[in-house]
Amino acid sequence: MIEEVGTTEQGDLVINVGPQHPSTHGVLHLVITLNGETIKKVEPHLGYIHRSIEKMCESLSYRQFIYVTSRMDYLSSHINNHGCALCVEKGMQIEVPARAKVIRVLMDELTRLASHQLWWGAMAMDVGALTPFFHAFREREAINDIMEETCGARLTMNYMVPGGVMADIHPNFQKRVKEFIAFFKTKIDEYDELVTGNIIFKNRMIGVGYLSPESAVSYGCTGPTARGSGVSCDIRKLYPYEVYGQLQFEEVTVTGGDCFARYMVRMQEMRQSLSIIEQLIDNIPEGEFQAKTKAVLKLPKGEFYSRVETARGEFGVYIVSEGATTPYRIKFRSPGFSNLSALDHMARGHKIGDLVAIMGTLDLVIPDIDR
Amino acid sequence: MKKITMLSIENITHSIDVWLNSTFNPTVAVVLESLIVGLSVIGLFALLGLVLVLMERKVSAYMQIRLGPNRVGPGGSLQTVADTLKLAMKEGLTPDGADKFLFNLAPFLVIVVAMLILAPVAFAKGTQIWDINIGVLYITAVSSLSVIGILMAGWASNNKYSLLGAMRSGAQIVSYELSAGMAVLSIVVLTGSLQISSIIYSQQDGWWLFKGHIPAVISFIIFIIAVTAETNRAPFDLAEAESELTAGFHTEYSGMKFALFFLAEYVNIFIVCAIAATLYLGGWMPLHIGHWTGFNLVMDYIPSSLWFIGKTFFLIFVIMWFRWTFPRLRIDQLLNLEWKYLLPLSMVNLLLTTLIAIEGWHF
Amino acid sequence: MIDMFLKKYISEVFGAVRSLLKGMRLTGYYFTHHKEIITQQYPDNKEEMKLPERFRGEVVMLHDEKNEHACTGCTACELACPNGTIKIITKFDVTPEGKKKKALDTFIYHLELCTMCNLCIEACPTDAIKMAQNFEHSVYDRSKLTKKLNKPGSKIREGVE
ipTM exceeding cut-off 0.90 for this assembly: no
Task: Say if A26 falls within a structural domain.
Answer: no
Within an 8 Å CB–CB cutoff, is residue A181 touching chain B?
A: no
Domains: count for chain B:
1
pLDDT in tens, B142-183: 888 888 888 888 888 777 767 777 887 888 888 888 888 989
Contact of A22 with chain B, judged by CB distance below 8 Å, is answered with yes
Residues of A with a Cβ under 8 Å from any C Cβ are: 60, 63-65, 67-68, 131, 138, 141, 148-153, 156, 158, 161, 166-167, 170, 190, 193-195, 197-200
- pLDDT value at residue A355: 85
Nearest CA in chain C to A61: C82
Q: Which residues pair with C104 in a beta bridge?
A: C90
Tens digits of residue pLDDT in A23-74: 667 788 888 888 877 888 889 888 888 988 989 889 988 888 888 888 888 8
Residue range C34-72, pLDDT digits in tens: 877 778 888 888 888 888 888 888 888 888 887 778 888
A204-214 mean pLDDT = 88
Residue B20 maps to a domain: no
Contact B327, A204 (CB under 8 A): yes
Mean pLDDT, residues A130-136? 87
A285 Cβ neighbours under 8 A, 6+ residues apart: A98, A99, A102
Q: State the pLDDT at residue A306.
A: 92
DSSP A178: H
Per-residue pLDDT at B8: 63
Residue B134 lies in a domain: yes
Q: Do C28 and B321 touch (CB under 8 A)?
A: yes
Is the distance from CB of A346 to CB of A294 less than 8 angstroms?
A: no
- Give me the percent of chain B exceeding a pLDDT of 70: 94
- Domain membership of residue A40 (yes or no) is no
Q: Is the dihedral of CA B264, B270, B276, B279 positive or negative?
A: negative
B117 band by pLDDT with thresholds 50, 70 and 90: confident
CATH of the domain at A333: 1.10.645.10
For residue B247, the model assigns a pLDDT of 56
Domain interval for residue B137: 92-359
Task: Give pLDDT < 70 ranges for chain C.
Answer: 153-161
Contact call for residues A264 and A287 (beta carbons, < 8 A): no
CA distance A234 to A223: 7
Cross-chain Cβ contact A199/C116 below 8 Å = no
Q: Report the candidate in B312, B275, B234, B72 with the shortest Cα–Cα distance to residue A131.
A: B234
Query: Which residues from chain B sit within 8 angstroms of residue C30, using beta carbons?
Result: 62-65
Calculate mean pLDDT across residues B278-301. 80
Of all residues in chain A, the one with the smallest CA distance to C30 is A135
Question: In the beta sheet, which residues pair with residue C58?
Answer: C132
Q: Tell me the pairing of strands C155-156 and C68-69.
A: parallel
Contacts of A354 in chain B (CB under 8 A): 330
**Residue B325 DSSP class:** T
The tally of domains found in chain A comes to 1
Exposed e or buried b per residue across B152-181, where buried means at least 16 C-beta atoms within 10 angstroms of its C-beta: bbbbbbebebbbbbbbbbbbbbebbbbbbb
State residue C157's pLDDT score.
66
Distances in Å between the Cα of A134 and the Cα atoms of A124, A264, B56, B240, C148 are: 11, 20, 17, 21, 41
pLDDT of residue A112: 92
CA angle C128, A295, C92 (to 5 degrees): 45
Burial class (CB in 10 A: 0-12, 13-18, 19+), C92: exposed
Per the model's pLDDT, the better-predicted residue between B334 and B240 turns out to be B334
- At B351, is the pLDDT very low, low, confident or very high (cuts 50, 70, 90)? very high
Q: Is residue A121 part of a domain?
A: yes
Tell whether A129 is covered by a domain. Answer: yes
Q: Looking at residues B318-331, what average pLDDT do you find?
A: 86
- Could you give phi then psi for residue C32, rounded to 5 degrees? -90, -20
B25 within domain boundaries: no
What residues does A32 pair with on adjacent strands? A15, A42
Task: Note the pLDDT of residue C161.
Answer: 60
The contact set of C with A (CB < 8 A) is 15-16, 19-20, 22-23, 26-27, 38, 51-52, 54-56, 80-82, 115-119, 122, 131
Considering the domain boundaries, does residue A240 fall inside one? yes
Q: What is the pTM of this model?
A: 0.87
> What whole-number percentage of chain B has pLDDT above 90?
5
Chains that touch B (3 or more CB pairs under 8 A): A, C
Is residue B53 in some structural domain? no
In a domain, A292, yes or no: yes
Inside any domain, residue B30: no
- Residue A42 in any domain: the answer is no
Distance separating alpha carbons of residues A326 and A62, to the nearest angstrom: 6
Report if residue B2 sits inside a domain.
Answer: no
Confidence (pLDDT) at B6: 47
Residue B46 lies in a domain: no
Distance from CA of C153 to the nearest CA of A (A): 32
pLDDT digits (tens, 9 = 90+) for B255-274: 788 888 888 888 888 988 99
> In this predicted structure, what is the pLDDT of residue C32?
84
The answer to whether position A24 is within a domain reads: no
pLDDT at res. B317:
92
pLDDT at B241 over 70: no
A263-301: pLDDT as tens digits:
999 999 999 999 999 988 888 888 888 888 888 888 889
With an 8 Å Cβ cutoff, are B324 and A352 in contact? no
Residue B277 scores a pLDDT above 80: yes
Instruction: State whether residue C14 sits within 8 Å of chain B by CB.
Output: no
pLDDT the model gives residue A331: 92
**What per-residue confidence (pLDDT) applies to A32?**
86
pLDDT beyond 80 at A208: yes
